[in-house]
Amino acid sequence: MKKKIEKILIANRGEIALRVIKTCRDLGIKTVTLYTHEDRNLPHRFKSDEAFYLGQGTLAETYLNQEKIIEIAKSTNSTAIHPGYGFLSENTDFCKKVSDAGIIFIGPSIEAIELMGDKKTSKVKMEEIGIPLIPGYHGDNQDADFLKVEAKKIGFPVLIKATAGGGGKGMRIVENEGEFLEALSSAKREALNAFSNDKVLLEKYILNPRHIEVQLVSDGEGNHFHFFERECSIQRRYQKVVEETPSPALDDKLRAEICETAVKISKGINYIGAGTIEYILAPNNEFYFLEMNTRLQVEHPVTEMVTGFDLVELQILAAQGEAFKFSQKDISQTGHSIEVRVYAEDPDNNFLPTIGRIKSIGSSSQEGVRLDCGFSDNTEISVNYDPMIAKLIVYADERQNAIKKMDLAIDDIKFSGVKTNRDYLKRILKHEKFVEGKVDTSFIETYKKDLTKEELSDETLAAMIAGAIFSENKSLDIKTSDDDSWNHLTNFRNV
Ligand code: ADP
């Protein structure tokens, strides 16, 4: 069914709300945003055409208050709701209520979210369409002794995973048989707490794998496209910290195989809209389906940088039921892009979340630097929301230049006033294994020592002082995330 979207309510906050506003402005679509007492000074409130106050309260009472959000969408005559990522983006109750209210949910069908939102049902479907799975058990029998026998059959180390899981919750690595039962009950306890569902599955724990994912977008007429891969192997506690594309681990043949498998999945489940297939790539280059995320990913900008497509625009076109006016061969990877997630946390103090008032964000005068940030100067970071305060993205002709550019960009984006993980990110970028592209998902754990703060030698201090004097002399014009830092994206619309 084709229906033109004229106004979008963005059921989210911060950087992703601003990101959606940016595309809506380009397309001439009006926007409605939501904000809480704590978020009252954030730019997303001011950049939208209309903004609604959700009051002061818990997440459930504010950004997750489904009834209230749908009420606001109706009262503002919003044609569609964009959920961003996190929050209500994969909540099928919300999708149902939105469509019952005659509003378009910008995302896939309820069936697709339901199917792929559960690690067990998605695996069953993948088996059906012939997609490689990690050896394991994902049946219904949850008896502890039975699962232990299955774990033995798989061979240790084994990974216990909550079927409803996400964000690494309800996940336990089990090294040997003796640890199994205790790990199982603790995984189940955590899963019940987090997802009100204690079902688990078992997977062979693949040693030293890489995390590779493929961006998909399917249009409203059943055409399926991939936008190549992203590598997200630099993770801490299963959370991504650095993402890049192309992956240094893939040659053309493996890349084609991985991307074509993703398209096969998309076709196999009649997907519509943007989604991501996540894989584990073993050191022997075998790859396995991990899960599908049925929404826009945090790390989508790196794909936009190398393909030139605006993924939010494609989501909107798909939601309108339109066919895309390009074919797979029009989508190519040019250059290299890296994203780092800037967290308000103290890596040198056990990654404790930090809070405070941002005095000055800063901006980079380099070409090909994009800052997706939901804050502006003089706004407060609160403990009540995700500690990720910004995404810094660079684009260059090739990987080494992208690394260098990112290093300089981190110097420019200061977030003065708040302790962030900037220095830690720089240590990752400078690590020889990262520079060589020889990383896997245990990188942060393996090189923990190298990544912790070093005592500064006199030479380093002298070099830093010299650097500081040099950067004082550079003209730093301060820009916020909603103006010039988005300018390089203009080529999105040419395809
Ligand atoms: P979640 O949905 O909780 O994020 P995922 O299944 O997506 O869980 O896995 C998150 C991360 O955990 C992956 O990116 C990878 O680093 C690691 N991981 C998951 N499954 C395996 C496995 N079988 N072997 C090794 N590492 C794994």
Give dist(CA 252, CA 49) in Å, integer. Answer: 45
Please answer whether residues 407 and 396 qualify as being in contact, where contact means their C-beta atoms are separated by less than 8 angstroms: no
Q: How far is CA 364 from the centre of its chain?
A: 23
What number of CA atoms fall less than 13 Å from residue 240's CA on the CB side? 22
| Structure confidence at residue 105 (pLDDT) | 98
Question: Tokens 């007429």 label which residue?
Answer: 221
Pocket lining: 291 vs ligand 1, CB cutoff 6 Å: yes
Share of the chain above pLDDT 90, in %: 89
Q: Is the pLDDT of residue 478 over 50?
A: no
| Structure confidence at residue 24 (pLDDT) | 98
Kindly give the number of the ligand 1 atom that is closest to the alpha carbon of 441: 16
Question: Tokens 């250059």 label which residue?
Answer: 335
Name the token pair of 271.
């997907």
Average pLDDT on 159-180 reads: 94
Please list, residue by residue across 120-156, b when 16 or more beta carbons sit within 10 angstroms of its beta carbon and e when fewer do.
Answer: bebbebbeeeebeebebbbeeeeeeeebbebbeebeb
CATH number of the domain at 135-204, please?
3.30.1490.20
| Structure confidence at residue 269 (pLDDT) | 97
Element (H, E) at 377: none
Listed by start position, the domains of the chain span: 7-106, 135-204, 210-446, 458-494
Pocket lining: 283 vs ligand 1, CB cutoff 6 Å: no
| Structure confidence at residue 491 (pLDDT) | 34
Identify the three-state secondary structure at position 129. Answer: coil
Alpha helices, H only, 330-457: 399-412, 422-430, 432-436, 443-446, 448-451
CB atoms within 10 A of CB 354: 18
Average pLDDT on 416-428 reads: 97
Of the pLDDT bands very low, low, confident and very high (cuts 50, 70, 90), residue 167 is confident
Average pLDDT on 207-224 reads: 97
| Structure confidence at residue 492 (pLDDT) | 31
> Which listed CATH number (3.30.365.10, 3.30.70.20, 3.30.470.20, 1.20.1050.10) goes with 210-446?
3.30.470.20
Share of the chain above pLDDT 70, in %: 91
DSSP label of 298:
T
Name the residue of 159, 204, 278 whose CB sits within 8 Å of the most ligand 1 atoms, as the mutation to test its pocket.
Answer: 159
Of the pLDDT bands very low, low, confident and very high (cuts 50, 70, 90), residue 454 is low
Question: Tokens 């398209």 label which residue?
Answer: 263
Residues 351-388 pLDDT 10s: 999 999 999 999 999 999 999 999 999 999 988 999 99
**Considering only CA atoms, which of 136, 127, 132 is closest in space to residue 156?**
136
Q: Do domains 135-204 and 210-446 have the same CATH topology?
A: no
Least confidently predicted of 41-55, 158-172, 384-398, 469-483: 469-483
Give dist(CA 214, CA 354) in Å, integer. Answer: 33
Give dist(CA 83, CA 78) in Å, integer. Answer: 13
| Structure confidence at residue 466 (pLDDT) | 55
**For the chain, how many helices (H) and strands (E)?**
17, 21
Among protein residues, the one whose CA lies closest to atom 2 of ligand 1: 166
Average pLDDT on 122-131 reads: 96
| Structure confidence at residue 23 (pLDDT) | 98
Give dist(CA 362, CA 373) in Å, integer. Answer: 11
Give the Å distances, CA to CA, from 454 to 423, 451, 457.
11, 8, 9
Pocket lining: 441 vs ligand 1, CB cutoff 6 Å: yes
Residues 283-333 pLDDT 10s: 999 999 999 999 999 999 999 999 999 999 999 999 999 999 999 999 999
Average pLDDT on 158-167 reads: 93
Of the pLDDT bands very low, low, confident and very high (cuts 50, 70, 90), residue 475 is very low
Give dist(CA 287, CA 282) in Å, integer. Answer: 6
Q: Which CATH class is domain 7-106?
A: alpha beta
DSSP label of 360:
B
Beta strands in 221-355 (DSSP E): 224-236, 239-245, 273-281, 287-293, 336-343, 345-346, 352-353
CB atoms within 10 A of CB 469: 9
pTM: 0.91
Max Cα separation, the chain?
Answer: 68
| Structure confidence at residue 486 (pLDDT) | 39
Q: Is the pLDDT of residue 473 over 50?
A: no
Average pLDDT on 35-46 reads: 97
Cis peptide before 157 (omega within 30 of 0): yes
Average pLDDT on 107-127 reads: 96
Give dist(CA 131, CA 289) in Å, integer. Answer: 7
| Structure confidence at residue 5 (pLDDT) | 98
Cα 308-312-313 angle, rounded to 5 deg: 75
What is the whole-number distance in angstroms between the Cα of residue 260 and the centre of ligand 1?
21
Pocket lining: 290 vs ligand 1, CB cutoff 6 Å: yes
Pocket lining: 170 vs ligand 1, CB cutoff 6 Å: no
Give the Å distances, CA to CA, from 71 to 81, 201, 284, 299.
12, 39, 52, 31
Pocket lining: 280 vs ligand 1, CB cutoff 6 Å: yes
| Structure confidence at residue 453 (pLDDT) | 77
Of the pLDDT bands very low, low, confident and very high (cuts 50, 70, 90), residue 463 is low
Kindly give the number of the ligand 1 atom that is closest to the alpha carbon of 288: 23
Tell me the pLDDT of the chain averaged across its residues: 92
Please answer whether residues 480 and 372 qualify as being in contact, where contact means their C-beta atoms are separated by less than 8 angstroms: no
Q: Is the pLDDT of residue 19 over 80?
A: yes
| Structure confidence at residue 53 (pLDDT) | 98
Among protein residues, the one whose CA lies closest to atom 1 of ligand 1: 166
* Residues designated as active site: 295
